[in-house]
């Protein structure tokens, strides 16, 4: 996460410098330039959620979370951490594998809204659907790995797929 922040100028402006000894900026906590904090905790270690209060929470890969552990359901604990704020926001993501996995259950219990992005050609808003994301692979690390080439990735517009 730190390298992503450092490589993204708009994000880098929001996080305090690691060299500023008057600020908190380490592996688990980052202080923003407006005095708020970002905490990085593991849902597989619910004890890390104790004592935290958050207006916004982002939970990644919730499919791998043990919901019936000794310390309780970590997803429910995240929700409790946000209860102090009337306008809190909890974002969850995961790759759904079966119809009743945790991300599908969370989606069904909420407003079932989708993320939309504007088409770079016409500006029409459309849902991001993975099968519509197109890219070529770029070889890196001397041919040992391949990654999607972000410079040529694009989103196929829905109506382009319908046009003969």
Taking only the tens place, the pLDDT of each residue in 65-74 is: 877 777 778 8
- CA 73 to chain centroid, in Å, comes to 20
Instruction: Say if residue 75's pLDDT is above 90.
Output: no
Q: Given pLDDT bands bounded at 50, 70 and 90, which one contains residue 108? A: very high
Q: % helix / strand / coil in the chain, to the nearest 5?
A: 25, 25, 50
pLDDT of residue 22: 84
* pLDDT averaged over every residue in the chain: 81
Closest residue by Cα to residue 136 from 128, 146, 126, 144: 146
Q: Domain boundaries in the chain? A: 114-164
Closest residue by Cα to residue 49 from 80, 88, 92, 91: 80
pLDDT of residue 3: 65
Quote the CA–CA distance of 40 and 59 in Å, as a whole number: 10
Instruction: Say if residue 82's pLDDT is above 70.
Output: yes
Greater confidence, 1 or 71? 71
Greater confidence, 133 or 161? 133
Is the Cβ–Cβ distance between 56 and 89 less than 8 Å? yes
Mean pLDDT of the 84-99 span: 88
């Amino acid at each position: 996460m730190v390298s992503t922040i450092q490589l993204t100028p708009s994000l880098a402006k929001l996080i305090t410098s690691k060299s500023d000894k008057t600020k908190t900026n380490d592996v688990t906590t980052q202080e923003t330039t407006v005095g708020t904090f970002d905490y990085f905790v593991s849902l597989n270690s619910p004890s890390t959620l104790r004592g935290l209060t958050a207006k916004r929470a982002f939970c990644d890969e919730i499919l791998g979370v043990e919901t019936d552990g000794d310390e309780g359901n970590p997803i429910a604990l995240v929700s409790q951490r946000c209860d102090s704020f009337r306008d809190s926001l909890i974002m969850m993501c995961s790759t759904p594998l079966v119809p009743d996995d945790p991300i599908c259950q969370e989606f069904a219990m909420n407003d079932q809204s989708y993320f939309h992005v504007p088409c770079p050609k016409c500006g029409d808003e459309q849902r991001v659907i993975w099968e519509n994301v197109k890219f070529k692979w770029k070889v890196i690390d001397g041919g040992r790995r391949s990654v999607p080439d972000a410079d040529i990735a694009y989103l196929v517009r829905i109506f382009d797929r319908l046009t003969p």
